[in-house]
A and B are shown apart, each in its own frame.
Chain A
Amino acid sequence: MTETIKTDCLIIGAGPVGLFAVFELGLLDIKAHVVDILDKIGGQCAELYPEKPIYDIPGFPTVTGQGLIDNLMKQIEPFGPVFHVNEMVAEVQNLGTPTAPLFRVKTDADTVFEAKTIVIAAGGGSFQPKKPPIPEIETYERESVYYAVRKIETFRGRSVLIVGGGDSALDWTLNLVPVAKRVTLMHRRDDFRAAPHSVEQMRALVHDGAMDLRIGQATRLEGQNGRLEQVICRDNDGGEFAVACDAMLPFFGLTMKLGPIADWGLSLHENLIPVDTEKFETSVPGIFAIGDINTYPGKLKLILSGFHEGALAAQKVQRYVYPDRRVTFQYTTSSTSLQKKLGVA
């Protein structure tokens, strides 16, 4: 039994907008926990375009995706946010009232939060593995097809087909060779985007006969009762070949899906969450949505819009967390009390 984590605000999504919300909340003495499905902080900036320059962040003529995240992490450091990465929020239960909301939130890793408010900053939704175009692949997902390695032991003594040409495919190939009965790596071309030293190690293992490398694409799965027996593949000249295996690991990157957010009782519009433009609150009092995931008249999916939305949402979060506080608006440039919170006064 894990202990329930009590928090003023739970932020879902550790992208730039979720991170800046930590800052705006922090200035108002509101502590936050942040949950993200990825294994790292930064959302799309870190996952999709860490090296690519962004040109429309005010005050930065150019900054890379990762550079922006690094700066935001530095900026929110004084507020000590607690991060829970590699976790997806699965359930949200409303225990409170519209004027005093309280939510019980459970992640897929069984972490339980009791949060006075929730800020959804989930961007395009949760990153989930892309599935290859193979008919009936779902039938095999329980026992034979895996999109991630959670426990290496799952693969002990099994014949494993790993598909893909990036770091995930190569890293797991190298890690599973000593454990599995046999590892076959398959990629659509004999050229790998993974780190060169991993590719070299893989080629050496192939040379020594410790594993197999095939060039082609999986087209059909064969097996019984959800247990894979072989994968039928097509090479680039249209020829067919079969790979005998009882486990398959396709690594085709990630795509964004709205995921469980759809089940939390919020009004949705075309997979986006409608909010008002005063508080960026959803149809459920106490749950806010900021950044790419929300929609309102005139919405622009810009990082800078998400920053603004976070600042306004924080004001309303403050009303829920400190209902009796007399609200005075202050600037970080002149307010000693804000500067103390930032650790600069």
Chain B
Amino acid sequence: MAKIQFIDFGGTARTVEAEPGSTVMEAAIKNGVPGIEAECGGACACATCHVYIEPDWQEKVGAPSSMEEDMLDFAYDVRPNSRLSCQITVTQELDGLSVRTPEKQA
């Protein structure tokens, strides 16, 4: 299992356990983390699981694919460290990952 920390817009941090092979979005939804909506259920079709990757983790998490970049166009307040959490697969390498959720998803 890998630990993932979600920091909400107000600054509250929540850490959840995520299974390698699942996605960061699924870890949030399973654990009822607020700030992630995932309207489309993980199809990379709605941009409502938008997160900001904390600077220390950006390199390990990597850049979005071109399909994800297209979807990010629809996200609210996109920044250089924006990713869609349904497109980040959890690995043991990402144990300790920290992401922030935006003010709102849509």
Binding site for B on A (CB under 8 A): 48-49, 52, 124, 130, 132-133, 164-166, 187-189, 191, 193, 217, 236, 252-253, 255-256
Contact = CB atoms under 8 A, between A and B. Distances in A.
Q: Is the interface of B mostly helix, strand, loop or mixed?
A: loop
B47 interface: yes
Interface stretch (B12-20, B23-31, B66-74): B66-74
B78 A253 contact: no
**Interface size bracket, B side:** 10 to 19
Contact of A256 (B39, B45, B78): B39
B57 interface: no
B43 A52 contact: yes
The 10 A-B pairs of least Cβ separation, nearest first, read: A253-B74, A255-B106, A193-B70, A133-B77, A48-B45, A49-B45, A165-B73, A133-B76, A52-B43, A130-B106
B73 A166 contact: yes
Given A49-B40, A164-B73, A188 B45 contact: no
Interface of B: 39-40, 43, 45-48, 66, 69-70, 73-74, 76-78, 80, 103, 106
Nearest to A217: B78
Nearest to B41: A301
A66 to B, nearest CB: 13
A52 B39 CA distance: 15
Contact of B73 (A188, A236, A255): A188
24 contacts: A48-B40, A48-B45, A48-B46, A49-B40, A52-B43, A52-B45, A124-B39, A133-B103, A164-B73, A165-B73, A166-B73, A187-B73, A188-B73, A191-B66, A193-B70, A193-B73, A236-B80, A252-B73, A252-B74, A253-B73, A253-B74, A255-B48, A255-B106, A256-B39
